Structure 1
């Protein structure tokens, strides 16, 4: 099974990085679910939780607001204006 390489960053620094099987990202006009093989995409982040399903370990949830999400060849960069790290889901 393919994995996605995800990095969540903010002006305060790196909030999370790792390999996931899927990720869900809040956008200004809804929610985007991303699986391996997704076409390249650049989208504007809204406010809400980024839900991460790591290849190994427990699911994570990170609250974000503002910024953008870039998807390119199974590499996802979530550059948020604000990030609040939550406990494992």
Structure 2
């Protein structure tokens, strides 16, 4: 069975370096599945839940919270350079809950004061916290 190498790199270091059969990622244009032999490409990524499957018939899925970045697929190597990424087992859900509450509070305050830039930052922080919570509870 064909495999590809998956590498996820963040400013904090390498978060994933392994072989896999299938991954699912999300770009601004939508969700994309990547299998071995995928055409070479580069694309931006949005905040999303990345799915990794080791084998075609395997029901087990590993989840990673990816918070933006870019993906390069080249010669059965998938490299993701992300702003941040956390595996499901590494996510502290209580910390993510606190981040969600903080972002919701900041969004509400920015909306009340009509601060557009602060609203954008708070929405991104909220989206990241929700992504981490979703992956952390899988």
TM-score by length of 1: 0.88
User: Looking at both structures, which has the greater relative contact order when contacts are Cα pairs under 8 Å and sequence separation is at least 6?
Assistant: 1
Helix, strand or coil for the counterpart of 1:38? coil
Structure 1 unmatched ranges of 5 or more: none
- In 2, the alpha carbon distance for the partners of 1:11 and 1:37 equals 28
Cα-Cα RMSD: 1.8
Who wins on radius of gyration, i.e. which is larger? Answer: 2
1:46 aligns to what? 46
State whether residues 29 and 46 of structure 1, in contact with CA within 8 Å, keep that contact through their aligned partners in structure 2.
no
1:30 matched residue in structure 2:
30
Residues 28-74 of structure 1: per-residue CA shift (max 9 Å, x gap) = 22111001111101010011111111259x42110011110000011
CA distance in 2, matches of 1:29, 1:84: 23
**Higher helix share goes to which structure?**
2
- The TM-score with structure 2 as length reference comes to 0.59
Counterpart position of 1:60: 62
Runs of 4+ in 1 over 3 A off after TM superposition: none
Q: Which has the higher strand share?
A: 1
1:28–1:47 Cα contact (<8 Å) kept: no
